Amino acid sequence: MSEYIVEMRHVTKRFPGIVANDDVSLGIKKGEIFALLGENGAGKSTLMSILFGMYEPDEGEVYVRGKKVEHFSPNHATAMNIGMVHQHFKLVSNYTVTENIILGMEPQKRLGGFLPVVDIKNTNQKIADLSKKFRLEVEPTKKIEDLNVSMQQRVEILKMLYREAEILIFDEPTAVLTPQEIEFLLDIIREMRRNGKTIILITHKLEEIKQVADRCAILNRGKVVGICDVAETSTKKMAELMVGREVSFTQEKSPFRPGEVKLTVDHLVVKNADGFPVVNDVSFSVRGGEIFAIAGVAGNGQVEIADAVAGLTKVSSGTITLGGKEITDAAVRARNRQGLAYIPEDRQSWGLILDFTLSENLLLRRYDQEPYCVKGVLHREKFDEKSRQLIEQFDIRSGQGEKTVVRSMSGGNQQKAIVAREIDQDAPCIIFVQPTRGLDIGAIENIHRQILEERAKGKAILLVSLELDEIMSLADTIGVIYNGQLLKIAPADTMSTNEVGQYMMGVKE
Amino acid sequence: MSDIIVNGMSFSLPLFIIAVGGIYSERSGVTNLALEGFLGAGAFFGAVFTALTAGMFAATSQLPMYLSMVVAMAGGALYAVIHAVLCIKFKANQVISGVVVNILAMALTDFLTSQINAGVLGQSSDKFVLNVSTRLTFQPLASLPVIGGFFTNVYPFEFIIIAVAVVAWYAMYKTRFGMRLRACGDNPYAVDAAGCNVARIQFIAVMVSGALSGLGGMCFAYSVFGNFSTSIYTGYGYLAIAAMIFGNWKIPATLGACLLFGFARAAGYSLIQYLGLPGAYSDLIMILPYVLTLLLLMFFSKNNRAPRALGEIYDKGKR
């Protein structure tokens, strides 16, 4: 009998075109919080899906409590007291919390002595008790569709606890939560360890691991590249292992050499559907070689400014000038031709056509131009040729190269594809809206490097971000937006993070 | 008035049990346009049974009718396997499968009816003649004003339908199986994660759908038509689908919708008789339930909520 409650030996799992797990061996001790760290697409979720029985490994063995696992199915996993909270919750939306929790193992009572009936009423009480014990604060009689994401996640946790899970797997549990909810969840996780549960945490967020985990395995491209004691390992070291190269949290920035003005926004007003001015009299200009960053709390009008410049929102009054020409009412394509590239906030609905191939997506801005389209006929081989060049240049990883359907790619690589397409236009002005949202460190670093490279080439860059750290490390000039108005525009080196934060809350002045 | 109730109930209830069949299938997540085919195929099996065993019972015996209903349920369930296999095993498009199943039922039962008549019974006919069911009148309740209609000239199968519907309701809302079935229609992945076999649940649901439709079809054959022929495919299956949608995929509300359709139809007939219009106009009145359906759907569909995963092809590998 080994010291491990879960042991994986030489586990390999392949999917068409990709090796998700490559000869993975690791052991997890009873009663610890074990983290699996890795970039998007490193194979963390696949590995844990194997433990939970959703996939069968192609090679290698899994041992639970010293016994070899013979049958891979969620049922067998549950019988071995393994539970998993998936990234996408598996809840029935029109059922109550209790009904969801008991689904599949409904307690029965006999009505009038013989008719079997699912016993909801008594179970409600049991679940309320369980919720109290682990401080989950879930009401058993609420319907799922009336609960927010954080509550739904706690229902998933309760589901595992109700099934007497001893080994609990969390797949990216904090991706959908607010900072306060994350704190709450981490407390719950600690509480469960105190109750003797073994917890496996899949994540790409280093801070969380630092906060709660005891040990951590780091995966890179399907391989375990290190297993370390969290307390004794620096965040930087973990990040390096995860990305597979040295990571610089602060980027090397070349000196600021502003050129001439490329983009001017003058007294811009944008109204929402109710006629309320969400952008109110905003003026600024961006010079070549400058990163102008708009900082602000979400929903203060920053996205609307970017959309107005890109031509996705109607301008109520004011003008937008690009390279000396007014484009206030120009069509999106005209602005594009005029020299404007745009990386939108929501990459899946505005940036990509998810069911098209990578090659088609990469050519969305050029498909109608020669040599990709000659006399109205598309030339696919030219598409692919160009795509392969971009894939190489921007290190876009995918299962089947340029033929990959974009939907199947990881978020980081989808974003890389958009950035590649937009930067490749060589437009003098580029708008980045939330360019690193939901990405892991490696991908963030990559995107930041691209932005700075474009700056060095003398491009005018408008950056909209909710991440203050991102703004502080990239911007040359910061404009702080509050309630649709730019409260302050100043060179980045004259403002501290704290000051910017205060303007963001509308406190200063 | 009494006539309207008598005719309304005898039409509404078979329609209702067919719609309950639809609810079983759709609440489990399988779109079911095949009710029309199910009811016809079920009635066909029942009618064949009656025709083949005609010599074994006294001419006035009602027993063949009850037996044929059991056979119709079994036959409907058997025929529904086609839809289940196409949709669940082969993951075919559920709308197309439903339409195909309907067309197949009509063609196949027509062909087989003629063949069995010619080959086994030695007569040339494209229908199986059935005795119209006896009717029961309950005195003194039947003499009550207005509601007396509910106890006058009642077909025995109306009680069978009510009993079956109660069992169906109980099974769907109170038992383990029903809970899992309804969950499949909302999020089959949750059911799978809970360790239940989604495909099996849906398969059974579609077969139950076939059985209930078969029962409803047999009742129509013994009341409205008095025989089995292709004339049974007059769109009552589609009307049941409309009732189900109008009833928001819930059994009690669907009963309400069926009663509305049935009474509208019965009221139409009474109207013709009252006005003394020529027979050709009765065809016009026949469209009344359908016009009503259109109008109601126009006004009420936006409040309706179909099962969330309805028609979605469940693929275990997808996440």
For testing the chain A interface, which of B177, B186, B196, B312 should be mutated: the one with the most A CBs within 10 Å?
Answer: B186
Helix/strand/coil percentages in chain A, nearest 5: 35, 30, 35
- Residue in chain B closest to A79 (alpha carbons) equals B195
CB contacts < 8 A, A to B, total: 61
Instruction: Identify whether B140 is preceded by a cis peptide bond (ω within 30 of 0).
Output: yes
B chain contacts of residue A74, beta-carbon cutoff 8 Å? 192-193, 195
Please state, in angstroms and rounded to a whole number, the distance separating the CA atoms of residues B169 and B180. 14
Please state, in angstroms and rounded to a whole number, the distance separating the CA atoms of residues B10 and B39. 16
How many residues are listed for chain A in this entry? 509
Q: Determine contact, residues A333/A439, Cβ cutoff 8 Å.
A: no
Look up tokens 């009509």; give the residue.
B106
- Long-range contacts at B144-153 (CB < 8 A, ≥ 24 apart): B146/B1, B147/B5, B148/B2, B149/B1, B149/B2, B149/B3, B149/B4, B149/B5, B149/B6, B149/B9, B150/B5, B150/B9, B152/B2, B152/B5, B152/B6, B153/B6
Sign of the alpha-carbon torsion through B295, B297, B298, B304: positive
Cα A410 to Cα A23, A171, A263, A288, A407: the distances in Å are: 22, 15, 33, 32, 8
- Each residue's pLDDT tens digit, A470-481: 898 899 999 999
Please state, in angstroms and rounded to a whole number, the distance separating the CA atoms of residues A508 and A488. 9
For chain A, give the percent of residues with pLDDT over 70.
Answer: 97
Instruction: Among A44-58, A363-377, B23-37, B266-280, name the one with the lowest average pLDDT.
Output: B266-280
Q: Determine contact, residues B13/B258, Cβ cutoff 8 Å.
A: yes
- Each residue's pLDDT tens digit, B237-253: 999 999 999 899 999 99
B174 touches chain A (CB under 8 A): yes
The stretch B34-47 carries a mean pLDDT of 96
| ipTM (interface pTM) | 0.86
Q: In this complex, do B189 and A90 lie within 8 Å of one another by their Cβ atoms?
A: yes
Which among A90, A93, A118 has the least Cβ separation from residue B179? Answer: A118
For chain B, give the percent of residues with pLDDT over 70.
Answer: 98
Please state, in angstroms and rounded to a whole number, the distance separating the CA atoms of residues A502 and B9. 72
B chain contacts of residue A104, beta-carbon cutoff 8 Å? 180, 191, 194-196
Interface residues from chain A to B (CB-CB < 8 Å):
74-75, 78, 86, 88, 90-95, 99-100, 103-106, 108, 111, 115-118
A484, amino acid identity: G
For testing the chain B interface, which of A48, A85, A87, A90 should be mutated: the one with the most B CBs within 10 Å?
Answer: A90
Q: Determine contact, residues A29/A5, Cβ cutoff 8 Å.
A: yes
A261-504 belongs to which homologous superfamily? P-loop containing nucleotide triphosphate hydrolases (3.40.50.300)
Please state, in angstroms and rounded to a whole number, the distance separating the CA atoms of residues B177 and B103. 31
Please state, in angstroms and rounded to a whole number, the distance separating the CA atoms of residues B82 and A413. 43
User: What pLDDT shows up at residue A139?
Assistant: 92
Which among A93, A115, A116 has the least Cβ separation from residue B187? Answer: A93
Helices B2-27 and B176-186, axial angle in degrees (round to 10): 70
User: What pLDDT shows up at residue A467?
Assistant: 80
Look up tokens 């339930």; give the residue.
B289
User: What pLDDT shows up at residue A251?
Assistant: 66
- Each residue's pLDDT tens digit, B157-174: 999 999 999 999 999 999
The stretch B3-25 carries a mean pLDDT of 94
pLDDT band at B208 (very low <50, low <70, confident <90, very high): very high
pLDDT band at B317 (very low <50, low <70, confident <90, very high): low
Look up tokens 């969290």; give the residue.
A230
Cβ–Cβ contacts within 10 Å for residue A424, how many? 18
A394, amino acid identity: F
The stretch B93-110 carries a mean pLDDT of 95
User: What pLDDT shows up at residue B131?
Assistant: 79
Evaluate if residue A441 carries a pLDDT over 60: yes
Q: Determine contact, residues A254/A315, Cβ cutoff 8 Å.
A: no
For residue B132, the 8-state DSSP code is P
Q: Which residues lie below 8 Å from residue B164, measured CB to CB, with a gap of 6+?
A: B17, B212, B215
Q: In this complex, do A95 and B186 lie within 8 Å of one another by their Cβ atoms?
A: yes
Q: In this complex, do B319 and A103 lie within 8 Å of one another by their Cβ atoms?
A: no
Q: A117 CA to chain B: closest CA distance, Å?
A: 5
Which among B187, B196, B319 has the least Cβ separation from residue A104? Answer: B196
- Which residue(s) pair with A7 in the sheet? A27, A63
Mean pLDDT taken over chain A: 88
Evaluate if residue B319 carries a pLDDT over 50: no
Please state, in angstroms and rounded to a whole number, the distance separating the CA atoms of residues A240 and A37. 11
**CATH code for the domain defined by A4-243:** 3.40.50.300
Q: Determine contact, residues A198/A167, Cβ cutoff 8 Å.
A: yes
User: What pLDDT shows up at residue A86?
Assistant: 86
Q: B184 CA to chain A: closest CA distance, Å?
A: 8
- What SS3 state is found at B234? coil
Q: Which two tokens stand for residue A281?
A: 């009299």
Q: In this complex, do A105 and B194 lie within 8 Å of one another by their Cβ atoms?
A: yes
How many residues are listed for chain B in this entry? 319
Q: A17 CA to chain B: closest CA distance, Å?
A: 16
* CA-based nearest residue to A35, from A162, A193, A154: A193
H helical segments located in chain B: 2-27, 35-52, 63-84, 94-119, 156-174, 176-186, 188-193, 198-220, 236-246, 251-275, 280-286, 288-300
Please state, in angstroms and rounded to a whole number, the distance separating the CA atoms of residues B318 and A359. 24
Evaluate if residue A43 carries a pLDDT over 90: no
B chain contacts of residue A408, beta-carbon cutoff 8 Å? none
B chain contacts of residue A95, beta-carbon cutoff 8 Å? 182-183, 186
Q: B168 CA to chain A: closest CA distance, Å?
A: 14
- Each residue's pLDDT tens digit, A125-135: 999 999 998 88
B86, amino acid identity: L
- Each residue's pLDDT tens digit, A443-454: 888 889 989 999
A chain contacts of residue B179, beta-carbon cutoff 8 Å? 99, 103, 106, 118
Cβ–Cβ contacts within 10 Å for residue A25, how many? 14
Q: Determine contact, residues A310/A332, Cβ cutoff 8 Å.
A: yes
Q: In this complex, do B193 and A90 lie within 8 Å of one another by their Cβ atoms?
A: yes
Q: Determine contact, residues A389/A421, Cβ cutoff 8 Å.
A: no
Q: B296 CA to chain A: closest CA distance, Å?
A: 25
Confirm or reject CATH 1.10.3470 for domain B2-318, answering yes or no: yes
Maximum Cα interatomic distance, chain B, rounded to a whole number of Å:
64
Cα B237 to Cα A230, B15, B209, B245: the distances in Å are: 65, 8, 12, 13
Q: Which residues lie below 8 Å from residue A38, measured CB to CB, with a gap of 6+?
A: A44, A204, A218, A219, A220, A242
A chain contacts of residue B170, beta-carbon cutoff 8 Å? 115
The answer to whether A4-243 and A261-504 have equal CATH topology is yes
Which among B176, B191, B308 has the least Cβ separation from residue A93? Answer: B308
Q: Which two tokens stand for residue A90?
A: 């598996």
- Each residue's pLDDT tens digit, A153-179: 999 999 999 999 999 999 888 876 766
Evaluate if residue A272 carries a pLDDT over 70: yes
Q: Determine contact, residues A412/A41, Cβ cutoff 8 Å.
A: yes
Look up tokens 């193992």; give the residue.
A105
Evaluate if residue A496 carries a pLDDT over 70: yes
B319 touches chain A (CB under 8 A): yes
Which among A90, A105, A115 has the least Cβ separation from residue B190? Answer: A90
Q: B175 CA to chain A: closest CA distance, Å?
A: 5
Round to the nearest angstrom and report the end-to-end CA distance of chain B: 57
B318 touches chain A (CB under 8 A): no
Q: Which residues lie below 8 Å from residue A136, measured CB to CB, with a gap of 6+?
A: A130, A154, A157, A158, A188
- Each residue's pLDDT tens digit, A286-342: 999 999 999 987 778 888 999 999 998 889 999 999 988 999 999 998 998 889 999
Q: In this complex, do A103 and B183 lie within 8 Å of one another by their Cβ atoms?
A: yes
The stretch B33-59 carries a mean pLDDT of 92
Please state, in angstroms and rounded to a whole number, the distance separating the CA atoms of residues A454 and A471. 16
DSSP run (H or E) holding A194: helix A179-194
- Residue in chain A closest to B193 (alpha carbons) equals A74
Q: In this complex, do A92 and B195 lie within 8 Å of one another by their Cβ atoms?
A: no
- Each residue's pLDDT tens digit, A391-438: 988 888 888 888 889 888 877 888 889 999 999 988 999 999 988 877
Q: A94 CA to chain B: closest CA distance, Å?
A: 7
Q: B174 CA to chain A: closest CA distance, Å?
A: 5
Q: A219 CA to chain B: closest CA distance, Å?
A: 22
pTM of the predicted protein model = 0.75
Please state, in angstroms and rounded to a whole number, the distance separating the CA atoms of residues B161 and A113. 26
Q: In this complex, do A95 and B193 lie within 8 Å of one another by their Cβ atoms?
A: no
Q: In this complex, do A93 and B179 lie within 8 Å of one another by their Cβ atoms?
A: no
Q: Give CA B7 to chain center in angstroms.
A: 17
Instruction: Identify whether A255 is preceded by a cis peptide bond (ω within 30 of 0).
Output: no
- Each residue's pLDDT tens digit, A92-131: 999 999 999 999 889 988 888 788 999 998 999 999 999 9
Q: In this complex, do A93 and B174 lie within 8 Å of one another by their Cβ atoms?
A: no
* CA-based nearest residue to B14, from B173, B237, B246, B311: B237
- Which residue(s) pair with A12 in the sheet? A59
pLDDT band at B93 (very low <50, low <70, confident <90, very high): very high
Q: Which residues lie below 8 Å from residue B49, measured CB to CB, with a gap of 6+?
A: B64, B67, B68, B71
* CA-based nearest residue to B112, from B66, B61, B75, B86: B75
Cβ–Cβ contacts within 10 Å for residue A267, how many? 11
DSSP run (H or E) holding A241: helix A235-243
Please state, in angstroms and rounded to a whole number, the distance separating the CA atoms of residues B244 and B265. 17
Kindly provide the residue ranges of all beta strands, DSSP E only, lying in A32-114, ordered along the sequence: 33-38, 59-64, 67-68, 82-85, 108-111
Q: Determine contact, residues A247/A414, Cβ cutoff 8 Å.
A: no
B196 touches chain A (CB under 8 A): yes
- Which residue(s) pair with A171 in the sheet? A202
Q: Determine contact, residues A418/A341, Cβ cutoff 8 Å.
A: no
- Residue in chain B closest to A105 (alpha carbons) equals B194
The DSSP-derived string for A218-255 is EEETTEEEEEEEGGGS-HHHHHHHHHTS---SS-----
Q: In this complex, do B186 and A93 lie within 8 Å of one another by their Cβ atoms?
A: yes
B chain contacts of residue A143, beta-carbon cutoff 8 Å? none
Q: In this complex, do B183 and A95 lie within 8 Å of one another by their Cβ atoms?
A: yes
Sign of the alpha-carbon torsion through A385, A387, A393, A398: negative
User: What pLDDT shows up at residue B316?
Assistant: 66
Q: B293 CA to chain A: closest CA distance, Å?
A: 27
User: What pLDDT shows up at residue A87?
Assistant: 79
A201, amino acid identity: L
Domains of chain A by residue range: 4-243, 261-504
Q: In this complex, do B308 and A115 lie within 8 Å of one another by their Cβ atoms?
A: no
Instruction: Among A245-254, A367-376, A486-495, name the one with the lowest average pLDDT.
Output: A245-254
- Residue in chain A closest to B198 (alpha carbons) equals A104
Please state, in angstroms and rounded to a whole number, the distance separating the CA atoms of residues A160 and A84. 7
Q: Give CA B247 to chain center in angstroms.
A: 15
- What SS3 state is found at B205? helix
B306 touches chain A (CB under 8 A): no
B71, amino acid identity: V
